[in-house]
Amino acid sequence: MGRFWAAVFFLLIVVTIIPGHGSCLEENDPDQILYINSYDFDFSWSKLMADGVHDGIISGLNESEKPGVYVLTEFMDSKFISDDTHFRNLYNLYSYKLRDNRPGVIIVSDDNALRFMREYGDEMFPGVPVVFTGINDYDSILDDLPANYTGIIEKIPIEENIDLVLRLHPDLNTIYFVIDDTFTGKTIRRQTENITKKYENRIEIRYSGQELSTGEILREVQELPDNSAVIFFTYSVLNEKGDKMYPDRYIMTLMNQDRIPVYTVMDQYNDLGVSGGYQESAYELGKMASQMAMEIIKGTDPNDIPVVTDIPSKIELNYDDIKKYNIKDGNIPPETEFFNKPSYMVSIPKNFVTAIVILILSLAAILLISLVYNNRLKKTEIELNESLEEKNILLREVHHRVKNNLAVITSLVDMQFINSENAETKQKLRDMGNRIISMSIIYDNLSQSGNLSKINIRTVFMTLGEKLIQDYSMGIDIHFEVTGDDCLISPDKAVPLSLVINEIIGNSLKFAFKGKKSGEIRINYTCKDKTLNMRISDNGIGIDRSYIEGETESIGLDLIRNIVSLQLNGTAEIHSDGGTIWIISLPADNN
């Protein structure tokens, strides 16, 4: 009997000492943040949420802290598949992929990511604080919130939008809700059905059908009676071809009719022509979550940070629709903000006008006292500043318009891609779309940065590489690395260079790793002595020598060489040694 209890005691010690297979490193890295997004980057809500998370982290750091803090981002792609099997597969993937990582805090956005963390978080990252945001199914969350969990509850402004629509359209008799059958859609549907009970005797409530195509949902709206309105919540469908149909496409289709106004609960669709609504922002939800995470990184106990249930929302209306739908000024709430409002109609606050008047009078007094020399010097300085500001405004507007035009072209290519059934045609359309996106990335960065004449190529390489890996990796685990110092180049060099990088990385992803489970793509560059030197390599199967020596024709290789030599005045060499290596040199401005 004594030997038996000794054996039991020994086994207990072994079980206590040996960690579970799913847990990662024992020590937290306080400067590492893991961000898990429920969906994928092509979903505009997810992209804006991710932008908010990253911007919130950057804004919460001073210059000396920024190099030390880094973010790992994972997209669950669970909009259409969110069952236990998918979650278990993600658990196995993350347990292996993140086995050498133990973050100081984890941020999760939307319900599926939080469900995943509550199921597997303690196994993978025991004790690591979790900040959640964008949570719709909040009733069960608040009742059973684990320790070290805090975040933001997203209470969709359902009642607020109904009241707003009824106020703007007093003769309204029908409201048509667009809600899908995803996990989030089902949650919103339950909340909507509870709230609309108080309106049953006042107005007819209709709901969209499920799994409808864009044309079918447009037909349902066209069949609505006069004095109707649409409130669009969310609608995502995985069609028979396996194409992901996200809300943006449904809203763009609904804009083909203008008899019925379309209101939304999210502000990312305002650029698509909707009438507006009582709206919340995915970007702000992401930024709020990252600010909470930064408090934890800097030492605040997560249990001392209360869950936020009152998120910022605001009324935004399309100025063009005020006249189109005969909305009276008296029915518009005073706190309303307008988009698409003509620039000549911009109102100037009285205190701003007063400040300008005082400034002008003060300057006039100084000018009267100053000597002629100072008077001329001040006048020249003002003229130069005004000229520079006008130039910056013009450049910013040009970049913005070019970016928008490229986005429209990309959307047209995407629509053609979806409608095409020929595999070769679809591949060419995808390549065309990625070439357009590579140019769009340049103007997107320029329009958002403070420097309108230069762009950091590291940002271009990282953004373009991540986008291409997302599109072409096809289940292969790609390690993508960019090394090099800051290097600023002008847009006239950045645009053709982005096309070159797009071709090289795209070719590696499509051809270099066939039959492999993983691969590496590296970009190393230096920028000094007015020369930009780049080495782009992969560890794939290499390229046939007939292509290198020009014996076999290749449009992609010819495109790369012609752009480098003719547009960038540089040189490009290709080698095949344990993979494909490009050596590119071209003139560059000094930083």
Residues 185 and 89 placed together within one structural domain of the fold: no
- Look at the alpha carbons of 120, 122, 125, 131 in this order and tell me if their dihedral is positive or negative: positive
Q: Is the model's pLDDT at 6 over the cut of 50?
A: no
Q: How confident is the model at residue 376 (pLDDT cuts 50, 70, 90)?
A: confident
pLDDT > 90: percent of the chain: 41
Does any domain span residue 149?
A: yes
Q: Is the model's pLDDT at 406 over the cut of 60?
A: no
Report the candidate in 358, 338, 356, 357 with the shortest Cα–Cα distance to residue 347. Answer: 338
Buried b or exposed e, range 505-515, using 16+ CB within 10 angstroms: bbbbbbebbee
Does any domain span residue 357?
A: no
Query: How far apart are alpha carbons 52 and 46 in whole angstroms?
Result: 10
Which of 134, 153, 172 terminates a domain? The answer is: 153
Q: How confident is the model at residue 1 (pLDDT cuts 50, 70, 90)?
A: very low
Q: Is the model's pLDDT at 591 over the cut of 60?
A: no
Residues 416 and 476 placed together within one structural domain of the fold: yes
Residues 268 and 127 placed together within one structural domain of the fold: no
Does any domain span residue 371?
A: no
**What average pLDDT does range 511-535 have in this prediction?**
88
Provide the residue range defining the domain that includes 227. Answer: 158-281+310-345
What pLDDT score does 410 carry?
56
Q: Is the model's pLDDT at 372 over the cut of 80?
A: no
**What average pLDDT does range 401-406 have in this prediction?**
53
Residues 321 and 418 placed together within one structural domain of the fold: no
Element (H, E) at 204: strand 204-207
Residues 216 and 127 placed together within one structural domain of the fold: no
Does any domain span residue 377?
A: no
Residues 331 and 403 placed together within one structural domain of the fold: no
pLDDT digits (tens, 9 = 90+) for 152-178: 998 899 999 999 999 999 999 999 999
Average pLDDT, the chain: 82
Residues 338 and 234 placed together within one structural domain of the fold: yes
Q: How confident is the model at residue 399 (pLDDT cuts 50, 70, 90)?
A: very low
What pLDDT score does 36 carry?
96
State both tokens at 503.
């071709």
What pLDDT score does 552 carry?
66
Which are the contacts of 321, defined by CB distance < 8 A and separation ≥ 6?
Answer: 261, 275, 276, 327
Does any domain span residue 271?
A: yes
14-23, 78-87, 461-470, 535-544: least confident range:
14-23
Residues 226 and 330 placed together within one structural domain of the fold: yes
61-65, 302-306, 352-356, 363-367: least confident range:
61-65
pLDDT digits (tens, 9 = 90+) for 214-259: 999 999 999 999 999 999 999 888 877 778 888 999 999 999 999 9
What pLDDT score does 460 carry?
81
Does any domain span residue 356?
A: no
* Distances 549 to 41, 546, 575 between C-alpha atoms, Å: 39, 5, 10
Q: Edge-to-edge strand order for the sheet containing 29-37?
A: 70-75, 29-37, 103-109, 130-135, 149-153
Greater model confidence, 295 or 557: 295
* Distances 277 to 195, 272, 322, 338, 492 between C-alpha atoms, Å: 17, 13, 13, 10, 40
* Distances 418 to 61, 81, 309, 516 between C-alpha atoms, Å: 42, 20, 39, 28
pLDDT > 70: percent of the chain: 78
- The tally of domains found in the chain comes to 3
DSSP class of residue 317 equals: E
Residues 263 and 248 placed together within one structural domain of the fold: yes
Query: How far apart are alpha carbons 110 and 152 in whole angstroms?
Result: 10
Residues 314 and 212 placed together within one structural domain of the fold: yes
DSSP class of residue 270 equals: G
Strand extents, DSSP E, 436-554: 455-456, 477-483, 488-489, 518-528, 531-538
Q: Is the model's pLDDT at 529 over the cut of 50?
A: yes
Does any domain span residue 17?
A: no
What pLDDT score does 207 carry?
95
Which of 153, 182, 207 terminates a domain? The answer is: 153
What pLDDT score does 419 carry?
66
What pLDDT score does 380 carry?
74
Which of 97, 119, 153 terminates a domain? The answer is: 153
CATH code, domain carrying 579 = 3.30.565.10
Query: How far apart are alpha carbons 4 and 127 in whole angstroms?
Result: 34
Task: Judge whether 154 and 52 are in contact, CB under 8 Å.
Answer: no
Greater model confidence, 314 or 409: 314
Residues 149 and 168 placed together within one structural domain of the fold: no
pLDDT digits (tens, 9 = 90+) for 532-572: 999 999 998 888 777 776 666 677 788 888 888 888 899 99
Q: Is the model's pLDDT at 435 over the cut of 70?
A: no
Residues 538 and 394 placed together within one structural domain of the fold: yes
What pLDDT score does 200 carry?
87
- Look at the alpha carbons of 460, 463, 466, 470 in this order and tell me if their dihedral is positive or negative: negative
136-145, 277-286, 472-481, 485-494: least confident range:
136-145
Does any domain span residue 354?
A: no
Greater model confidence, 501 or 325: 325
Query: How far apart are alpha carbons 280 and 285 in whole angstroms?
Result: 8
CATH code, domain carrying 53 = 3.40.50
CATH code, domain carrying 196 = 3.40.50.2300
11-15, 69-73, 365-369: least confident range:
11-15
